[in-house]
Amino acid sequence: MEEEFEFGFTEDPKFSVERYEEMIRNHDQYFFDAQAFENIIDYYIEKNDPPKALQVAEYARNQHPFAAVFLIKQAQLLVITNKVTEAFEALEKAAMLEASDPDIYLIRGNMYESMERYGEALENYEKALDLAEETDEVLLHIAYVYQNMGDYETSITYLKLCLEQNMENQDALYELAFCYDVLDNQQESVLFYQQYIDNEPYSYAAWYNLGNAFTKLSLFEKAIDAYDYAILIKDSFASAYFNKGNALVNLEKYAEAIEVYRHTFEYEQPNADTYCAIGECYEKLEQMDDARAFYKKSVKMDPKLADAWFGIGVTLDFEERYFEALHFYKKALDLDIANADYWFAIADAEYKLGHLPEAEQAYEKVVELNPIDVDAWLDYSSILYEQQRLVDAIEVISQAIKNNPDAAELYYRMVAYLFAKGEYNEALSHLEMALASDPEKHYILFDYLPQLQKNKVIVDIINRYTK
C-alpha cells in the first residue's frame, strides 16, 4: 500500500525538491501544497530541464485541480518545448479557473507575437495591462510588438511609459536608444536621456546611451564624458570602455584609445573586435609591428573579420610590401565583396606593382560602389593619363563631375587633361568653373602640369579670382 506524506509551504525549497525526487524514486505518493510544487517547478526551470518541470506541473495539477497557476506554468513550459497548440489549450483551461490572472494574457500575447499575429498579441497584452499590478514588463512587450510592426514612434511612447513605471528597466532604456537610432533622431534621444538622468543620476545604462547618442552626433568630447560617468557608476562596464575608445579614435587620440580598449580585458574575455580596434590605433600611430600583431590576434579569434585581414594588408603596404599586402586585401575582399575601401586598396597596390590592367579594373569597381569618392576618380583617371589614353581619362573625369558637381579638384584635373589634349577653349571654360568653385585649389593644376605656370592667359584668369 502506498504511503501518503504531506509537505507544507514552510519548508526549504531544496528540501521539497529532495522529497519530490525521493517520491519518484520510491514510486510513492506524497502530498505537496501549491507553494512547494511551485518551488519544485521553478527549480527545474532554473536547471534548464523543461521535461522534468512539466512532469512536476502534471503532478501538481492532479493534486490541485483548481489552481490555475499550474496550468499557466504548464503553458510556459509547453511554449519552451514548442508545443504551441497544447500551450493555448492549457491557457484556455487556466482562464476558466482564474480569468483575472495577467500571466494568461501575457503568455498568450507572447505566442501570438512570435507567430507575427500582432493584432491578437496587442489584444492580449492590453488585457494583461488592465490586470497586472506591475505593468512595466507588459508595456515593454507592447513596445516590442510596435517595433516588429515598424511603428517606432508608438514603440517609443510605450517605452517611456514603461520607464515611468520602473526607472530601473534596463531593456527599455536600450530599446529606446534603438528606436531613436532607427528614426535617426539623436537630438530627441539626447534630450530624453538628459531628462532621465536628472531623475536617475546613477543609471549607468542612461549615461551609456547618452554617450552613444552624442557619438552619433559626432560630439565626441561630450560622449567621452557620458561614458566616463557610466564607468564611474559601473566600473566593470566593458561596452562603455569600448565605445569610449571609439570616441577617442574619432578625436585621433590613439594612444589613449589603446589604454581604454585594454581596460575591457579586465572585465570581459578579449574579443576579435577589440583586438582589431587596438591594431587600428597602432596603425594610425605608424607602429606597424604592434598593429600587425593585434590584427593577427584578431583574425586568429575570428577568421571572418574582414577589417582585421585588411589591417594586416595596410601594415604591409606601409612597408612597401605590396605583393604581400595584396594577398591580405583579397582575403578581406572575399569576406566583404562590396567594400569600396578594399577595392581602392587593391587598385593602389596593383598600380604600385605595375599591374595597370588589374589596377584599372579595381578602380572601376571602386567608383561603381562609391561614386562620391573623389580621390578614386582622380587616381583612376591618372593611370589612364599615364598610358596616354587622354580620351579615356577625360571620359572618367567627366563621369566623376556628374557624380560630384561640387568637387573643385575634378574641374582642375579636367583642365589639365584638356590642355594636354590641346582643347584650349574647353580647358579655359573648365578653369573658370574650377576657380568659381574653389580658387584656393588652383595649385592642383600646376602640380599636374607645371609648365602652365608660364602661360600668361591662365595666370591672368587665376589672378582675377584669387586677388
Q: Determine the distance from the C-alpha atom of residue 87 to the mean position of all C-alpha atoms in its chain, rounded to a whole number.
A: 35
- The label of the residue with cell 581596460 reads 263
User: Over the range 48-64, which residues count as b (16 or more CB within 10 Å of their CB) and which as e?
Assistant: eebebbbbbbebbbeeb
User: What are the two backbone dihedrals, phi and then psi, of residue 32, each rounded to the nearest 5 degrees?
Assistant: -120, 140
> pTM score, two decimals?
0.74
Angstrom distance (rounded) from CA 341 to CA 118: 42
238: left (phi over 0), alpha (psi -120 to 50) or beta: alpha
Q: Which residues contact 337 (CB under 8 A, 6 or more apart)?
A: none
Q: Are 282 and 298 in contact (CB under 8 A)?
A: no
Q: How far apart are CA 158 and CA 129, in angstroms?
A: 12
Per-residue pLDDT of the chain (467 residues; tens, 9 = 90+): 344 444 444 456 666 666 766 676 766 676 777 776 677 767 767 777 667 776 766 766 666 666 667 667 777 766 777 777 777 677 676 666 677 777 788 888 888 888 888 988 998 898 888 888 888 889 999 999 999 999 999 999 999 999 888 888 889 988 998 999 899 889 999 999 999 999 899 999 999 999 999 999 999 999 999 999 999 999 999 999 999 999 999 999 999 999 999 999 999 999 999 999 999 999 999 999 999 999 999 999 999 999 999 999 999 999 999 999 999 999 999 999 999 999 999 999 999 999 999 999 999 999 999 999 999 999 999 999 999 999 999 999 999 999 999 899 999 999 999 988 999 899 888 888 888 888 888 888 888 888 888 888 888 888 888 77
Query: Cα separation of 143 and 217, whole Å?
Result: 25
Which three three-digit cell numbers place residue 264? 575591457
Contact between 217 and 186 (Cβ < 8 Å): yes
